[in-house]
Structure 1
Amino acid sequence: MAEKATAVVISGVAGPDDAAHDAETAALWAAIEDSGIVPAPGRPVTVLTDEQVPGLAGIPGLTVKRVNGASPWAAARTALEAGTATAVAVHAPDAGVAVVLSCSEDPGQRYGALGDDPGTRVAALRPAPIP
């Protein structure tokens, strides 16, 4: 029996919180909340970033990994395809958003498929501001 194909989809998105003390942490957490995925040891969420994100340290089921200048999009795809994370959160400062990516058999789910040009796709998102 053939397996169903899965796509990397954008399951959560959040815009910047300019009033926040740590805007990156606020945007990442808001995107995780928007995705509806609750980090837990059995449902791990990985945050990929070039910066330290101390505001997310110590949350059960949440792992922060530094990409050290590598493409966070490639690292996200690798983690999702390997099954090491239920979801991956990425802060895209050039696009002014944070997104949560997950795998789905339905590429039309939530905000749609990430596609082959993640930078352009994410830049086209217009998330609601963080309340």
Structure 2
Amino acid sequence: MAFRTEYYIVDREALPDVFVKVVEAKRLLLTGQVQTVQEATELLKISRSSFYKYKDMIEPFTDTAHKKTVTIACTLDDEPGVLSQLLAVIGEAKANILTIHQSIPINGVADITMSIEVLEEAWSITEIIDALRKLPGVHAIKILARE
């Protein structure tokens, strides 16, 4: 059986602290705020072995998704205006909806899957997701794919 690498997008809140600290240590090194791995790991209170174990396995989800297609899944209340508000935020963000699919609402909620094109002049995907999560009637937003 061939080994296949799989990638996941995971909310930061679900990650163990060590992963978040490894990403931060890499950022500190990259920006020159610290000069050595030893400095970074001491500052962040993680072991050097943890840093080296995970450094090549974790990267932050960055907003380099400009000019990219992002597919997101949303769970919304089945009430008038909720989907309209969601679409208005995407329009305000200057992102382009490529596809949208809504399931038949069950128990007062509907699942929406949409692909949006994030252009140079658009908000970052993080800003878009954060704005969508704040809307009344939106229960969940998750990124399914990014191209």
Give the structure-1-normalised TM-score: 0.29
Bigger Cα Rg: 2
Higher relative contact order (CA 8 A, sep 6+): 1
Give TM-score scaled by structure 2 length. 0.27
